[in-house]
Amino acid sequence: DSKLCFHSSFAFGVATASFQIEGAWNVSGKGESIWDRYTHEHPERVFDHKNADVADGSYYKVKEDVQLLSQLGVNFYRFSISWPRILPDGLSNNVNEDGIRYYKELIEELRKNKITPVATMYHWDLPQSLQELGGWTNPIIADYFVDYARVLLDNFGDTVKVWLTFNEPLTFCENGYGGDDAPGGRSSGFEDYMCGHNVLRAHGMVYRMFDQKYRKITKGVMGITNVFPWIEPATTSREDQKAADAARQFMFGWYANPIFSQQGDYPQVMRKAVDANSKRQGFPRSRLPYFTAEEVEMIRGSFDFMGLNHYTTYLAAPGSGKISTKPSYQDDINAIITQKDEWPKSNSTWLRVVPWGFRRCLNWIKNAYNNPKILITENGVSFEAGLHDTKRVNYIDAYLRALHAAIYKDGCHVLGYTYWSLMDNFEWMRGYSERFGLYQVDYESQNLTRTPRLSAKYFSNVAKTGCLPDDYTDYTYN
């Protein structure tokens, strides 16, 4: 029998994020987030000029959305909590009780349906008031994040046992503070590194607080989600392999090394390169900040498991070695990452369908960080709207086969798999043009109707049986 099954303890789930689905951006006491401000001020920067004022209307659809989850038969639901819905000004002296009520209702509904809540504290919707202080570039933000986390743990710690501090710091620091592809700072080649630095400090501080004050009472676990596209050397040459490794360190090691490596701190190649580039650009002090010895200690080992988002694979070859006069992370990383075009495309320009990259990625982590427990917190693909999404079924099936091999052939320690996303939603700068959902959302309809795609049927079968079907072609839509 060729049937591939996951162990019965292996968990299946789906994910969403507050800003992408909730809507209700200014009601029931919610404060303004940086994404509210940004999409209102710069509609032209969003691909379809839309915003998330309404989005999927999930703020008003707790029961309906949990029914979607229940029909899928998933073990857990990964959602994120909107900081400005809980603390309208970002500060913990003003708690919005209606925000607390909303998430309590959601969690209670999940409990009734035997679905485990997995909560992300920060999935990019920073209170605008804190952006005024410099956002993630101001070291004080770490203290405000601790205050916010304390409110979450005090209110939800008895019912939520699985926590993620941050979703993809690489993405929001780079897009927001290294470029204009998200709200944040100026693209100076300094601020993205400052953002990363303060996020790592904030994560470490919250983990230590959780460990010391909440773990005993809540019996929960905490991690952080990083994104790791696999980076394959363009050829087998030593130069390409070196470039690929440097690129992995720059993209994944930047946020993973300080937390998951034995020695802690930023990866050596990154430290060396940014220090040297800074000097060449006339800055004797590095653009990459230094942790104090105490900070290295605090951040190192600040996890119970590793959250991992994986979507795609790139190819790397050595860069020109040239550094421009204008400092930037992209310039620093131009050890070069080229995307190979012949790989099958999705509907997102950055996303190629390369399932074996997933397996290599997991094996690299296993070797680099002593085989940590991993929760796949996102994996998914966008295709054009439509219910008969055989391409998505193919993607999920192929990536799950690669995951199965990583676990049962290679010994990677993976606890569960999360598909992104439960339903179509506001895909940041791409608006509603890129659809990742197992459920299609009809944005023309009055009540934002959700309809299961073929992939929902496929995934629910996997979640319910724990096995991949021998032949998924019989997943015809009816």
Active-site amino acid positions: 378
Site residues for ligand FCB, window 200-239 (CB under 6 A)?
227
Distance CA 340, CA 448 (A): 37
CA 341-344-346 angle, 5° bins: 105
Decide whether 53 or 132 has the Cβ nearer to ligand FCB.
53
171: contact with ligand FCB by CB under 6 A: yes
Signed CA dihedral, 245, 248, 253, 254: sign only? positive
174: contact with ligand FCB by CB under 6 A: no
Amino acid 125 reads D
The least distance separating ligand FCB from the CB of residue 286, rounded to whole angstroms, comes to 28
Partners of 164 in beta bridges: 120, 223
Burial label for 252, CB within 10 Å (0-12, 13-18, 19+), is buried
Which ranges of 60-190 would DSSP assign to H, the alpha helix? Answer: 62-72, 83-86, 97-112, 128-131, 141-156, 169-177
Decide whether 182 or 362 has the Cβ nearer to ligand FCB.
182
- Options 11, 14, 17, 55; binder of ligand FCB; rule CB under 6 A: 17
CB 227 within 8 A of CB 235: no
Decide whether 154 or 181 has the Cβ nearer to ligand FCB.
181
The least distance separating ligand FCB from the CB of residue 351, rounded to whole angstroms, comes to 8
337: contact with ligand FCB by CB under 6 A: no
Decide whether 168 or 191 has the Cβ nearer to ligand FCB.
168
Which region, judged by CB under 6 A, interacts with ligand FCB, from 27-35, 166-174, 242-250, 453-461? 166-174
168: contact with ligand FCB by CB under 6 A: yes
Cα→Cα distances 137→142, 148, 288, Å: 10, 18, 12
Distance CA 292, CA 301 (A): 16
- Options 109, 295, 424, 427; binder of ligand FCB; rule CB under 6 A: 427
Structure tokens at 162: 């699985």
- Options 378, 389, 397, 424; binder of ligand FCB; rule CB under 6 A: 378
Find, among 47, 16, 39, 45, the residue nearest to 430 by Cα: 47
Which region, judged by CB under 6 A, interacts with ligand FCB, from 98-106, 186-194, 333-341, 420-428? 420-428
Decide whether 14 or 274 has the Cβ nearer to ligand FCB.
14
CA 451 to chain CA centroid, Å, is 25
Signed CA dihedral, 182, 184, 188, 189: sign only? negative
Which region, judged by CB under 6 A, interacts with ligand FCB, from 163-171, 252-260, 300-308, 443-451? 163-171
CA 166 to chain CA centroid, Å, is 8
420: contact with ligand FCB by CB under 6 A: yes
Site residues for ligand FCB, window 292-321 (CB under 6 A)?
309
Which region, judged by CB under 6 A, interacts with ligand FCB, from 129-137, 164-172, 189-197, 275-283? 164-172
417: contact with ligand FCB by CB under 6 A: no
Decide whether 17 or 202 has the Cβ nearer to ligand FCB.
17
Q: Determine the 3-state secondary structure of 381 from DSSP.
A: coil
The least distance separating ligand FCB from the CB of residue 332, rounded to whole angstroms, comes to 21
Distance CA 416, CA 55 (A): 28
The least distance separating ligand FCB from the CB of residue 182, rounded to whole angstroms, comes to 11
The least distance separating ligand FCB from the CB of residue 274, rounded to whole angstroms, comes to 24
Tokens 């109707």 label which residue? 449
Find, among 309, 318, 351, 326, the residue nearest to 246 by Cα: 318
| Window 67-106: contact mask with ligand FCB (x via CB under 6 A) | ----------------------------------------
**Count of residues in contact with ligand FCB, rule CB under 6 A:** 11
DSSP 1-61: ---EE--TT-EEEEE--HHHH---TTSTTPPPBHHHHHHHH-GGGSTTS--SSSTT-GGG-
The least distance separating ligand FCB from the CB of residue 432, rounded to whole angstroms, comes to 12
The least distance separating ligand FCB from the CB of residue 281, rounded to whole angstroms, comes to 30
- Options 39, 58, 82, 167; binder of ligand FCB; rule CB under 6 A: 167
DSSP H or E segment with residue 259: helix 254-260
Which region, judged by CB under 6 A, interacts with ligand FCB, from 101-109, 114-122, 165-173, 254-262? 165-173
The least distance separating ligand FCB from the CB of residue 343, rounded to whole angstroms, comes to 18
- Options 207, 250, 428, 458; binder of ligand FCB; rule CB under 6 A: 428
The least distance separating ligand FCB from the CB of residue 147, rounded to whole angstroms, comes to 24
| Window 19-58: contact mask with ligand FCB (x via CB under 6 A) | ----------------------------------------
CB 174 within 8 A of CB 191: no
Distance CA 404, CA 386 (A): 28
436: contact with ligand FCB by CB under 6 A: yes
- Phi, psi values for residue 26, rounded to 5°: -130, 30
- Phi, psi values for residue 432, rounded to 5°: -100, 15
Return residues touching ligand FCB (CB under 6 A): 17, 167-168, 171, 227, 309, 378, 420, 427-428, 436
